[in-house]
Amino acid sequence: MTQPELKIEVDHRETLFDSFLRVDRLKLRHSLFAGGWSELMTRELILRPRAVGVLLFDPVQQQVVLVRQIRVGMLDEGQHPWLLELVAGMVESGEEPIEVAARESLEEANTKPQDLLQICEYYNSPGISNERITLFCGRVDATQAGGIFGLDDEHEDIEVVVLSLADALAKVASGEINNAMSIIALQWLQLNQPMLEESWK
């Protein structure tokens, strides 16, 4: 059976909100797998700049450098909203993701990663947003990591947290580390650590 060509038609689009987030409302229809068209439907779309996350790894100490900061998305979720995460940030106009990885590592963790390697790109929640995230892994000296950093004009209050790789993976398994960016990067490291360390020699 030949699959029909998949199409989408946007009948109307308007911006509802444009501040830290931009939210558009779309009226659209799409072709159906069984043939024909769906009914006209309404969907909201959150528009976000590209983002970057960086897993900072010390292969000598077998430690990762993470950050802890408040996240408002966790306010109603029954856990405190200070999450352990990767260094991360938005791609500004004219920047490449790898440049953002270096800039954010300095701003948030006061460290300069070496040998940045791209892990993957993925869409964070494509049912409601166009946010695309590029993940990197960079080599650091974790013995020099620690402190509180962030930009005052961005209301950042960021604690640098150094963990053994084993402890970080245990926190993924227990659910203490429960954000997608960190889980993807740490599990990638668990699978690819021998290849990574060999490439860094």
User: How many C-beta atoms surround the C-beta of residue 66 within 10 A?
Assistant: 25
CA 141 to chain CA mean position, Å: 23
Distant-in-sequence contacts of 80-83, Cβ < 8 A, 24+ apart: 83/177, 83/178, 83/179
Residues recognised as catalytic: 154
How many CA atoms within 13 Å lie on the side-chain side of 18? 5
The tokens describing 51, both together, are 């983002």
Q: How far apart are CA 117 and CA 132, in angstroms?
A: 17
